[in-house]
Amino acid sequence: MRIIAGKHKGTTLYPPLNKITRPLKDRTRESVFNLLIHSNQIDFEFKNSHILDLYAGTGSFGLECLSRNAKKVSFVEKTKDAIKILEKNIKKLRVKNVDVFFDDIFNLIKKGNIFKSKFDLIFCDPPFKDLNIEELIQKIYNKDLLQKNGILILHRNKNVKGKLPIYFKIVDERIYGISKITFGKFLS
């Protein structure tokens, strides 16, 4: 696992301590970032962006965003072992513009407005066995966490047939091995 591009390009990240944490493979992450940068349907700019990395694990997605000049990344992770590795990776890269929340995203949302701003990009990478993705999207929508024209990315098992809310417009969807990556926006 390494940073693919930007100011930290080539930096190797600490891997997870267990099989519960499942980071995106480098090739899949590289494809996701290529789509974010080059797709006409997505139209995303990293510079000065605010990113929310849900189910952050080792932090590989959010740290890649910081390497590509994101202004700030908020990481949410509820697993103790993963938080330890995430914090080691943040320290290794010496990045300062981060918030780390050691909690479940549903608990954080219940607590109210703990995020200081809306996000330009939200990356959701829950364990494949989690089936509450529609509820998660509804909570993100109801709490108005995503900027207008912001991007919400879902990483799911390609065989999961979850229902998505009608106000969530799929902009692009790709299959990589057993993974399905869905890029979407909220309809106004």
Confidence bin at 19 (pLDDT 50/70/90) = low
Partnered with residue 86 across adjacent β-strands are: none
CATH assignment at residue 116: 3.40.50.150
Domain presence at residue 103: yes
Answer yes or no: is pLDDT of 119 > 90. yes
Q: How many CB atoms lie within 10 A of CB 116?
A: 9
89 vs 87: CA distance, rounded Å: 5
Query: Exposed e or buried b for every residue in 56-70, given b needs 16+ CB within 10 A?
Result: bbbbbbbbbbbbbeb
In the chain, how many domains are there?
1
Q: What residues have CB less than 8 Å from 32, skipping those under 6 apart?
A: 24, 153, 181
The domain of 151 spans 26-186
Q: Is 110 helix (H, G, I), strand (E, B) or coil?
A: helix
Contact 22, 14 (CB under 8 A): no
Residue 18's pLDDT is 64
Place of tokens 């994101």: 70
pLDDT tens profile 20-78: 665 667 788 888 999 999 988 888 999 999 999 999 999 999 999 999 999 999 999 99
**In 3D, which of 151, 161, 152, 155 has the Cα closest to residue 175?**
155
The predicted model scores a pTM of: 0.93
| Cα–Cα distance list, 43 to 22, 34, 35, 151, 160 (Å) | 27, 11, 9, 9, 27
pLDDT tens profile 134-161: 899 999 999 999 999 999 999 998 888 7
Domain presence at residue 10: no
Domain presence at residue 3: no
Residue 66's pLDDT is 97
